[in-house]
Amino acid sequence: MSSKMEYDVKGHLHEVLSSIPPEVKLVAISKFHPAAYIEAAYEEGQRIFGESHEQELAKKYEALPKDIEWHFIGHLQTNKVKYIAPYISMVESVDSMKLLKEIDKQGRKCGRVINVLLELHIAEEATKYGLKPDDCRRLLDDGEWRGLANVRICGLMAMASNVDDEAQIRSEFMQAAALFDEFKQKHFADDDHFRERSWGMSHDYHIAVECRSTMVRVGTSIFGPRVY
């Protein structure tokens, strides 16, 4: 199968892996790419993949090896949570208390504690999802999340603005890193699970790892351009 692959997934995967520090986790963003591409990366040892649509993820989950750790990275409607709750490894895109509560509820039904990240909105674009810093502060200050036994907040996810200005990207990632420190100190000082900083995509992951990212979400640089 790999010999028929028209795109060199394996070569590109190794290029990306060799350009990030070994302690930074690579989430291979496979949305809109065929299962064969995921298998190619899997054969090279990649185990963490990210998807942004529930139905596409469900198909791939069914078809592919069960030791893959699936991360959900897209906008997640509350009525879709029940479908991914039995197997999702991490929901990176939690941007409301309502969604957090639903993940907790579905986690309880499956007897699981589901790992999540809070998605920050730090980019200048108005269209992106995520919690504004003050909304994220409020959510954590409110404390209701502490009663949710079937979700585990493992850190923050952020996207920088889609711009060429490296200084702006860097300043946005540093803002996310500062928020991480603030929340860690205030709410998670005794909680070792709160340790992930998911930032960096194909065009900016080099900057992200310089801004203390622990997890980069790279699609295009591994799998090529997406065909929608």
Ligand X SMILES: *Cc1c(COP(=O)(O)O)cnc(C)c1O
Positions touching ligand X (CB under 6 A) are 29, 31, 52, 73-74, 159, 201-202, 217-221
3-state secondary structure of 82: helix
CA distances from 67 to 36, 185, 223, 228 (A): 16, 34, 20, 27
The residue among 77 and 191 lying less far from ligand X, judged by its C-beta, is 77
- Hey, what are 206's tokens? 């080099």
How many CA within 13 A on the CB side of residue 36?
8
Q: Closest distance between ligand X and the C-beta of residue 55, in Å?
A: 16
Contacts of 209 (CB under 8 A, 6+ apart): 20, 21, 24, 200, 216
Q: Which segments of 49-165 does DSSP mark as H helices, in order?
A: 54-63, 81-84, 97-110, 133-142
The residue among 129 and 186 lying less far from ligand X, judged by its C-beta, is 129
Q: Closest distance between ligand X and the C-beta of residue 52, in Å?
A: 5
The residue among 88 and 148 lying less far from ligand X, judged by its C-beta, is 88
Among residues 188, 95, 187, which one has the least CA distance to residue 141? Answer: 187
Q: In which residue are the tokens 């790419």 written?
A: 33
The residue among 74 and 107 lying less far from ligand X, judged by its C-beta, is 74
101 neighbors 116 (Cβ within 8 angstroms): no
Select the residue whose beta carbon is closest to ligand X and give its number. 219
Q: Closest distance between ligand X and the C-beta of residue 192, in Å?
A: 25
**Cα–Cα distance, 96 to 221 (Å, whole number):** 30
Q: Closest distance between ligand X and the C-beta of residue 112, in Å?
A: 23
The residue among 51 and 102 lying less far from ligand X, judged by its C-beta, is 51
The residue among 27 and 148 lying less far from ligand X, judged by its C-beta, is 27
Q: Closest distance between ligand X and the C-beta of residue 176, in Å?
A: 13
Q: Closest distance between ligand X and the C-beta of residue 145, in Å?
A: 22
